[in-house]
Structure 1
Amino acid sequence: MVAVITKSDFSLNLKNHLRILLLAAVAVFHLWIQITGLKYTTAANTGWIIGTAPIFIAILGFIFLKEKLNPLKISGIIIAFIGLLLLVGKGNPLNIDLVKNVGDMLVLFSSFTWGVYSIINKKISLNYSPLMTILYLFIMMALIIIPFNINQKAIDSVIHLSSIGWISILFLGLLCSGVSYVIWAYSLREMESARVGAYLYFEPFVTVITAGLFLKEEITLLMVLSGLLIILGVYLVNKE
């Protein structure tokens, strides 16, 4: 609707249609593994692990966009990785088990896919309006998702959704997806992908506080210290 009101240019060549289709596939996969991971881990753990996304963005930016990756950034990657091991292993990396910690592993992989998404998005946003890009992106995401949800169970879930459920969907759809994806695309067009990724510093803190307040999740000292180690590493990765 916003794209139509602002009279955005809707022209797009075949090559970039395919790029946005790839972007949509990555976005759908990213959301699916993150939501699946949340079933097997806490929201607080998820918040800290998602905080590693800027590291993946920096590494992929170095590989595909020729962005700088100096010794300080490399040391930051190592520090963040140590923090991640302590968080997932609850203080002992030897405790990490791919089955027992499947939720954490899926969330970590979703951080990597967000890095992939950001790199592809940057390439597209350099040539096209972010608003138009997101419009095409959401259309293609819907086309990918719909075939997997045309069944009686999904229809019944929608019909019997509570008012809180609808409010949650509107919040996730309009703000967490709509507005934030557009802002992210505009930011990627104007700045280096690593610098944009640095703003994800705030997400773990918001998630942990929210999880404690609304989900009554236990926030331990080890969790906070491990998370801060991750954030320190991410800070060094994005330090000029």
Structure 2
Amino acid sequence: MPKNIKVHSVLFLVALIYGANYSIAKIALGVYLEPFGFILLRITAATALFWIVSWLTGPDPIKDKKDFYLLMASALFGVATNQMLFFKGLSMTNPINGSVIMTTSPIMVMLVAYLLGREKLTVMKIVGVLVAAVGAYLLLTKDGISLNEGTFLGDLLILINGTSYAVYLVIVKPLMAKYTAITVIKWVFLFGIIFTLPFGYEQLSIVNWSVISTNGWLSIVYVIFGATFTVYLLNVWSLKHVNSSVVGIYIYFQPVISTIVAISFRGDELYLTTVAYSLLIMIGVYLVSRF
């Protein structure tokens, strides 16, 4: 298989795994495990796997003690805050909304980089931000603004989760230049356990493991091995062969895949307004990414 076809096949597989994760995670989420407990389990298991891979690939010690502070900051934004808000938000909204809102991540990355003085704004990027912002606002408020009803709060938490992940992507970049990707991620996830433990320990400790169904276990395994461990390794491999902008393009596939899975297996409904608002967000993301 030619290398380009192989790389794009891998990137599509990553989009497929992520897109399906919105529906598959909800099989166990809120049914057998509460959001923070699920995240603690996910992070702990993934950390063990990343450290095993690191042990197999050889040592790559942290050379500067100051880098540990940056690793902790990366863990706070990229693992603890990011994943807890995502799972909490997903438990309060539907997979279609969640996957669409997550496509705003490139815009969040650009805005964070701009605020930190690492990227300049262009007219088209500003237009893209405004177009996506209108789409996101309409999608967030389509059921009204209520913290108790509809999907508003869940959608909002996923939007904030995307912002947190954007901060992580910007602050982790210097570390990626100094160390191997597996070294960075193993430490980020390890510190992530520390930040997540106070929130997830109680929820995880009261889980009745004996009542979890086969589908529930498959959901848990999928989230840990598929949507966390496998996709990260595949993304790292892909970045060795293509630039990050090519990898980023595949985020557009996630809402499509998530919608197909949600409608086919969960019986979710797709409304014309959701499609229209989603298109506004994607157009805005395209303008930001392209120009």
Q: TM-score range by the shorter chain?
A: 0.7 to 0.9
Shift of 1:126: 1.6
Is the Cα–Cα contact under 8 Å of residues 46 and 104 in structure 1 kept in the other structure?
yes
SS in 2 for 1:81: helix
Report the more deviating stretch, 102-111 or 193-202: 193-202
Q: Unaligned regions of 5+ residues in structure 1, if any? A: none
Partner of residue 126 from structure 2, selected from 52, 74, 91: 74
Q: Unaligned regions of 5+ residues in structure 2, if any? A: 1-51
CA distance 1:88–1:121, shift in 2 (3 Å): same
CA distance 1:149–1:159, shift in 2 (3 Å): farther
Alignment RMSD, CA only?
A: 2.7
Letter in 1 for 2:107: I
Q: Taking structure 1 as the reference length, what is the TM-score of the superposition?
A: 0.86
Paired residues, what number? 237
Letter in 1 for 2:127: S
Alignment of 1:118-137 (within 5 A): 118-137=169-188
Shift of 1:75: 0.5
Is the Cα–Cα contact under 8 Å of residues 23 and 121 in structure 1 kept in the other structure?
yes
Partner of residue 34 from structure 1, selected from 68, 86, 89: 86
Give percent identity, aligned residues only: 30
SS in 1 for 2:61: coil
- Equivalent in the alignment of 1:9: 60
Q: Determine the C-alpha separation between the residues in 2 that align with 1:65 and 1:185.
A: 26
Letter in 2 for 1:135: K
- Listed one character per residue, the Cα deviations across residues 17-61 of structure 1 (whole Å, up to 9, x for unaligned) are 111111112221111111111222211111111111110011112
Q: Determine the C-alpha separation between the residues in 1 that align with 2:289 and 2:108.
A: 11
Q: Taking structure 2 as the reference length, what is the TM-score of the superposition?
A: 0.72
- Equivalent in the alignment of 2:109: 57
Shift of 1:183: 5.0
Is residue 232 of structure 1 aligned with residue 283 of structure 2?
yes
CA distance 1:232–1:162, shift in 2 (3 Å): same
Q: Determine the C-alpha separation between the residues in 1 that align with 2:61 and 2:283.
A: 41
- Equivalent in the alignment of 1:44: 96
- Equivalent in the alignment of 1:102: 153
- Equivalent in the alignment of 1:154: 205
Q: Determine the C-alpha separation between the residues in 2 that align with 1:120 and 1:193.
A: 16
Is the Cα–Cα contact under 8 Å of residues 8 and 129 in structure 1 kept in the other structure?
no
